[in-house]
Amino acid sequence: MKEKELHIIKKVLQGNTREYEYFIDRYGKQVFTLIVRIVTSEEDAEELTQDVFMKAFEQLKTFKAESSFSTWIYRIAYNTAISATRKSNRYSLLMEDQYLQQVGDEEVDGLLDSEDEELTDKLYNAMQKLSMEERTLLTLFYYEDKPLAEVAEVMGLTEANVKVRLHRTRKKLYVMIKNETYD
């Protein structure tokens, strides 16, 4: 796959712009999924997804193939969405670290691994109260099934830092569900 993508990039850089369609078809949905969870508005997300592909096209010659194209475009998507969201200064629920430390891992595991269908809506609503970084973490790790190393690369963090943040976010969700502060 990597070889095929490198070959397409080479062709696009040689002036065969039509070949770029491959990347929009292949990664458009994934980029949109990430952005829509950060910015929440569907219209804004669509506009930003287009901007991401424009930026990637303009910066294509800077792509060094040190990471996969997918990681590279996710990184552009994440930065674009974060910049757009910072302007709107969206509210997110803050929680003290000390408070989260009191929550046991087993309880969190039990709740988040539950088969209870009613919990889905509650968790969905609770996720809307998380910060954009936390929603990005969950989307990349749980929805896109990206490994920790790739999540870290996209978000510009260390792998250890991603682990800690994921751990905190799971606890935060647990607390919101238990205290019913998700609506």
- State the number of CA atoms in the 13 A half-sphere of 34 facing the CB: 31
Q: What is d(CA 78, CA 34) in angstroms, rounded to the nearest whole number?
A: 8
| Min separation Cβ 127 and another protein, Å | 6
Contact 112, 171 (CB under 8 A): no
Question: In the set 1, 4, 14, 25, which binds another protein (CB under 8 A)?
Answer: 25
Question: In the set 44, 119, 129, 157, which binds another protein (CB under 8 A)?
Answer: 119
* 18 forms part of the interface with another protein (CB under 8 A): yes
Token match 């910015």: residue?
39
Token match 């569900």: residue?
177
How many degrees, rounded to 5, is the angle at CA 73 between CA 53 and CA 15? 50
* 157 forms part of the interface with another protein (CB under 8 A): no
Chain residues in the site for another protein (CB under 8 A): 15, 17-18, 20-21, 24-25, 28-29, 32-33, 36-37, 42, 45-46, 49-50, 53-54, 57-58, 105, 108-109, 111-117, 119-121, 123-124, 127, 138-139, 141-143, 148, 163-164, 166-167, 170, 173
